[in-house]
Amino acid sequence: MRRLAAAVLLLLLAGGIARAVEPGERLADPALEARARAIGKELRCLVCQNESIDDSGADLAHDLRVLLRERLKAGDSDRQAIAYIVARYGQFVLLKPPVEPATYALWFGPPALLALAAIAIALRLRRRDTSAPPAPLSAEERRRLARLLDEGT
């Protein structure tokens, strides 16, 4: 609570003190290490505020980075390695929530809102448009007008 009560960035700053991704953790195989980095960016350090394990300096993040690399070294695919960690730490570890019924509102909310708002605006503009300039004369009206004008002259 005390940490939270501080200025806006404190929470975030408190976690990472320039220790993310230690040289000692790195895998010898650059391709494997690159995969580990990419996955690590999408996994959450559970004790931090919205920081990935790739960025965080927390001890837990270190443990997770090592665990992830062990799985990759053991031959796991990216998907398997992530599944392994999710099985142990829960969905909370995923910075990108999966698309499933519980998150439909999250993923489809913004596009749905955009569409609804756009339709609402379009309807309003159209309504105002038609109310603004009078409708053009019909063919019948135009004939009548011409007749009246003719009679006048």
Partner 1 sequence: MIVELGHFALILALLLAMVQASVPLLGAARRKAGWMTLGQSTAVAQFVLVSLAFAALINAYVTSDFSVANVAENSHSTKPLLYKITGVWGNHEGSMMLWVFILSLFGAAVAWFGDNLPPTLRARVLAVQGMIGTGFLLFILLTSDPFHRLVPAPLDGRGLNPVLQDPGLAFHPPFLYLGYVGFSVAFSFAVAALIEGRVDAAWARWVRPWTLAAWCALTVGIAMGSWWAYYTLGWGGWWFWDPVENASFMPWLVGTALLHSAIVVEKRDALKSWTILLAIVTFSLSLVGTFLVRSGVLTSVHAFAVDPARGTFILLLLLVAIGGSLALYAARAPRLKSGGIFAPISREGALVLNNLLLCTGCATVFLGTLYPLFSDAVGGPKLSVGFPFFNRTFVPLMVPVLIAVAIGPLLAWKRGDLAAALQRLWLALAGTVAAVLIGFYVTGGGPVLAVLGLGLAAWVLLAAAVEWAERIRLLRAPWRESWRRARSLPRAAHGMTLAHMGLAITVAGIAASAWQQERIEVVAPGGTLAIAGYVLHLDGMTKLPGADFTADRASITVTRGGETVTVMHPEKRFFPLQQMATAMTAIHTNLLADLYVALGDSDGKGGWTVRAYWKPLVPWIWIGAVAMAAGGLVSLSDRRWRIGVAARARAPRGARPAE
Question: Residue from 29, 104, 107, 123 that binds partner 1 (CB under 8 A)?
Answer: 107
Q: Does 136 bind partner 1 (CB under 8 A)?
A: no
What are phi and psi for residue 103, nearest 5 degrees? -115, 10
Closest separation in Å from C-beta 31 to partner 1: 17
Residue closer to partner 1 by CB (options 90, 143) is: 90
Q: Candidates 70-78, 79-87, 121-129, 145-153: pick the segment binding partner 1 (CB under 8 A).
A: 121-129
What is the 3 state secondary structure string of the chain?
A: CCCCCCCCCHHHHHHCCCCCCCHHHCCCCHHHHHHHHHHHHCEECCCCCCCECCCCCCHHHHHHHHHHHHHHHCCCCHHHHHHHHHHHHCHHHECCCCCCHHHHHHHHHHHHHHHHHHHHHHHHHHHHHHHCCCCCCCHHHHHHHHHHHHHHC
Can you read off the two tokens belonging to residue 143? 């004939």
**Nearer residue to partner 1 within complex by CB, 2 or 151:** 2
User: Between residue 74 and residue 103, which ones bind partner 1 under the rule CB under 8 A?
Assistant: 90-97, 102-103
Taking the complex as a whole, the smallest distance from the CB of residue 101 to partner 1 amounts, in Å, to 10
Residue span 8-47 as binding mask against partner 1, x where in contact by CB under 8 A, dash where not: xxxxxxx-xxxxxxxxx-----------------x-x---
Which residues bind to partner 1, rule: CB under 8 A?
A: 1-14, 16-24, 42, 44, 49-52, 55, 57, 90-97, 102-103, 105-107, 109-111, 113-114, 117-118, 121-122, 125, 128-129, 132
